[in-house]
Amino acid sequence: MQIKRFSDAPYYDAPNHFDCKAMRLAGFEDGGPENFWIGCSHFLPGGGAGPDSSPLEKVYVILSGQLTIRVGGKEEKAGPMDSVTIPAGEEREIVNESNDIVTMIVVMPYPKKS
């Protein structure tokens, strides 16, 4: 078993994200999960990511606030305890259109080794 305290989670730069602070809660470390990693992202009002895609699927779980997600010309809003699954290769854009901070968990598999 490994417990990583929130206070020990390192920040990382998430590509193509803006007005966002991202932290790695688990993964990419000895003793961490073998098949996926977990992050926590805080988006300031007006902050977001994309539009872009990833070769890996991802799951978002919104903890607080409301996030706007745009995929394939469709727009949805997700709030506390909603989960959003983005399939591999699907272009998405996420934006915090509110005046509150949005906090969400991100779960992704590790990149495939070449």
Q: How far is residue 68's CA from residue 114's CA, in Å, rounded to a whole number?
A: 34
**Given this model, what pLDDT does residue 106 score?**
98
Tokens of 93: 């854009």
Confidence class of residue 62 from pLDDT cuts 50, 70 and 90? very high
Average pLDDT of the chain, as a whole number: 96
Q: What is the average pLDDT across 73-87? A: 97
**Given this model, what pLDDT does residue 112 score?**
84
| Cβ–Cβ under 8 Å, residues 85 and 69 | no
The pLDDT tens digits of the residues spanning 94-109 come to: 999 999 999 999 999 9
> What are the φ/ψ torsions at residue 7 (nearest 5 degrees)?
-65, -20
**Given this model, what pLDDT does residue 113 score?**
80
Q: Walk me through the domains of the chain, giving residue ranges and CATH numbers.
A: 24-109 (2.60.120.10)
**Given this model, what pLDDT does residue 76 score?**
98
Burial of 35 (0-12, 13-18, 19+ CB in 10 A): exposed
| Cβ–Cβ under 8 Å, residues 98 and 48 | no
| Cβ–Cβ under 8 Å, residues 61 and 82 | yes
Q: Is the pLDDT of residue 81 over 80?
A: yes
